[in-house]
Amino acid sequence: MAASGVASPTRTEVLQLYRSLLRVARQFSDYNIREYSKRRTIDAFRDNKNLTDPSQLSAAFSDGKAQLEVAKRQALVYSLYASKVKSIMDIKPS
Amino acid sequence: MASKLLRQTLTKTNRSAAIRCFSTAASVASPSEYEYPTGITMKGVKISGRPLYLDMQATTPVDPRVLDSMLPFYLSRYGNPHSRTHLYGWESETAVETARAQVAALIGASPKEIVFTSGATESNNISIKGVMHFYKDKKRHIITTQTEHKCVLDSCRHLQQEGFEVTYLPVGSDGLIDLDRLGKEIRSDTGLVSVMAVNNEIGVVQPIEEIGKICKEFNVPFHTDAAQALGKIKVDVEKWNVSLMSLSGHKIYGPKGVGALYLRRRPRIRVEPQMNGGGQERGIRSGTVPTPLVVGMGAACELAMKEMEYDENRIKGLQERLLNGIREKIDGVVVNGSMDRRYVGNLNLSFAYVEGESLLMGLKEVAVSSGSACTSASLEPSYVLRALGVDEDMAHTSIRFGIGRFTTEEEIDRAVELTVKQVEKLREMSPLYEMVKEGIDIKQIQWAQH
């Protein structure tokens, strides 16, 4: 995927992407997928924190946006087929 | 319209709102008879929620990114990849070939060497029976190990009934085979050596590179069942010198019902097909290639390649957390199989002075497998643990914890808590444990006959 010629994302755009990914992650009805999405987003953004090369930055940013689209679709699919009973990890001990 | 629906569903946590939009369906997907708002009752067991899943060696959940890649092929791109005359066939074929390349990239092979099957069991059958039947005039001997998967052992037994000879290599107490013994057992009429890369029950990683070197030296084809190894440890068909390799889709967060077989082209290994038909998959495996499943497997392999390092580091930490957490609270915990040559996501533990069935019955909120799962109908302890030389009573109390990509620290902590609680409770009731605490050696007792 040729990333040259595409402008690097601005700081605001990156933060917006980060917040959107976390927001969609919170919407997963499945406990494990929800936790994974949150954790993976945080770790991925942290690992890429020090990227400076513009082509690498654009590539990572577009990858992030593609992942956001996948996550949005799947959050919907998971909610349509969610189990009536929640995972034991989601049930607070009474 | 679609985005409005998306927004509606994502903002409202009330699921029935989404369902009202689709007025056609009678109810939401598969209403379960056993699920109630207060919990689940099934097979006489009542639990308040879905158990936490720690059985990754049995199967893994499908990664949402894999599901996303598969869905279009169930919805609009439903063509048969072997239809040559229209777009549906062409797009399906392109997708299959892309998936083939993704699988090949993960193992360091060429796409032309990958054949899609219905799973690792089928791939194992093709490898063992296919190779031996093809070379049946010259080669009458197979070497395998005592800890192989049931399908490998059963295929070998089938060949034994046909008149072939099979050598089952023993393993040490750490689960590893003796390489010198392997070299000695190879004969001039040995047609195949089959050793699995990562054992599904104990998680031990066999020295595949060394075995590959020995097989190359004696010019014997080498088959490995890499179902548990794919995407978890580094698999390289050149370094391993394998001629055949079985791969499974549902162990790497892909769909069930699909697998692959790697067949080396240089030097070419020939097999007799087990599925006859229209000659699909280069004649090795006839039958329509299931495009959605294959696309899912390809996506899972690509994902595994990207995420292998991240997953491994995490899972290693979780395994240590689990083992240390349990060992801190209770003693008499034995790890089955070598601790160094092991895949980090598999922890098979035996708890002394505890009865296995009762332990499992108390652990209903944790989805784990016991060592004797495959043979649970006969209450016989697992043949793998028996091959390791584990005592009967320890083999009965073994539990296999499977940690994966989606396991969280909280789940590990909860599993530790539940396991420790159950083991302590059972030991409290155990007269044998009382005697052990008083210092009596159980093995020296002369039980009086009445």
The distance between the two most distant Cα atoms of chain A, rounded to a whole number of Å, is: 57
Task: From chain A, pick out residues whose CB is under 8 angstroms from the CB of B405.
Answer: 36
Q: Which of the four pLDDT bands, split at 50, 70 and 90, describes residue B377?
A: low
Name the amino acid, one letter, at B74: Y
User: Distance from A13 to chain B by nearest Cα, in Å?
Assistant: 21
User: What is the model's pLDDT at position B93?
Assistant: 97
Of A40, A67, A83, the CB nearest to B50: A83
User: What is the model's pLDDT at position A90?
Assistant: 87
Residue B207, preceding bond cis, omega within 30 degrees? no
A41-50, B1-10, B54-63, B422-431: which range is least confident on average? Answer: B1-10
Residue predicted with more confidence, B6 or B209: B209
pTM given for the model: 0.89
> What residue of B is the nearest CA neighbor of A93?
B48
User: What is the model's pLDDT at position B44?
Assistant: 82
User: What is the model's pLDDT at position B33?
Assistant: 63
Q: Which of the four pLDDT bands, split at 50, 70 and 90, describes residue B432?
A: confident
> What residue of B is the nearest CA neighbor of A34?
B406
8 Å CB contact of B28 and A81: yes
A8-17, A38-47, B255-264, B364-373: which range is least confident on average? Answer: B364-373
User: What is the model's pLDDT at position B183?
Assistant: 94
Here the tokens at position B200 are: 């599904």
Kindly state the DSSP code that residue B176 receives in the 8-state scheme: P
Q: Which residues of B are catalytic?
A: 374
8 Å CB contact of A88 and B310: no
User: What is the model's pLDDT at position B395?
Assistant: 85
The distance between the two most distant Cα atoms of chain B, rounded to a whole number of Å, is: 81
Site from B50, B67, B368 to mutate, A interface, most A CB atoms within 10 angstroms: B50
- The reply to whether B47 touches chain A by the CB within 8 Å rule is yes
Q: What does the alpha-carbon distance between residue B370 and residue A91 come to, in Å, rounded to a whole number?
A: 26
8 Å CB contact of A78 and B64: yes
Task: From chain A, pick out residues whose CB is under 8 angstroms from the CB of B50.
Answer: 83, 85-88
- Cα dihedral sign, B325-B327-B328-B329: positive
Residue B436 pLDDT > 90: no
Locate tokens 């406990």: which residue?
Answer: A31
Write down the H helix ranges in A1-94.
Answer: 11-26, 31-47, 54-80
Q: Write down the mean pLDDT value for chain A.
A: 90
8 Å CB contact of B15 and A79: yes
User: What is the model's pLDDT at position B294?
Assistant: 97
Here the tokens at position A48 are: 């890429």
Site from A28, A83, A85, A91 to mutate, B interface, most B CB atoms within 10 angstroms: A85
Task: From chain B, pick out residues whose CB is under 8 angstroms from the CB of A39.
Answer: 408
Percent of chain B with pLDDT over 90: 74
> What residue of B is the nearest CA neighbor of A91?
B49
Residue A47 pLDDT > 80: yes
Q: What does the alpha-carbon distance between residue B261 and residue B284 come to, in Å, rounded to a whole number?
A: 10
Average pLDDT over residues B189-217: 95
Residue B381 makes CB contacts below 8 A (sequence gap 6+) with B371, B372, B375, B390, B392, B395, B396, B398
Residue B21 pLDDT > 50: no
Residue B269 pLDDT > 80: yes
Residue B344 makes CB contacts below 8 A (sequence gap 6+) with B312, B315, B316, B319, B403
Provide the ipTM: 0.92
User: Distance from B293 to chain A by nearest Cα, in Å?
Assistant: 18
- The reply to whether A26 touches chain B by the CB within 8 Å rule is no
Here the tokens at position B438 are: 């008083």
Residue B13 pLDDT > 50: no
